[in-house]
Amino acid sequence: MVAVDPDVIPLGSQLYIEGYGYAVAADTGGAIVGDRIDLAMDSTSEALDFGRRDVVVYVLG
């Protein structure tokens, strides 16, 4: 699951995110504005390992 700005990526969109994989734009967040996304991770350690980074996002549909 990915949080997105619905003005940029419509909710429900199927995405491919380099370095992460396939996901669905299913949430929004207060800090998610413009070209930012927030990726759901299975654990805190996984999130810390992934960190904050620039990624390429493909909107598949």
pLDDT digits (tens, 9 = 90+) for 15-51: 999 999 999 999 998 899 999 999 999 999 999 999 9
15, part of any domain: yes
Range of the domain at 27: 2-47
The answer to whether residue 54 sits within a structural domain is no
Compute the average pLDDT of residues 11-17.
98
Specify the 3-state DSSP secondary structure of 48.
helix
* pLDDT tens for each residue of 50-60: 999 999 999 99
Write phi, then psi, for 29 (nearest 5 degrees): -150, 155
Would residue 55 count as lying in a domain?
A: no
pLDDT at 29: 82
Backbone torsions φ then ψ of 12, nearest 5 degrees = 90, -10
Q: What is the pTM of this model?
A: 0.87
CB 32 within 8 A of CB 7: no
pLDDT of residue 52: 95
Report yes or no on 53 lying in a domain: no
Domain count, the chain: 1
Predicted local distance difference test score (pLDDT) of residue 30:
85
- Confirm whether 16 is domain-assigned: yes
Q: 23 with 15: CB under 8 angstroms?
A: yes
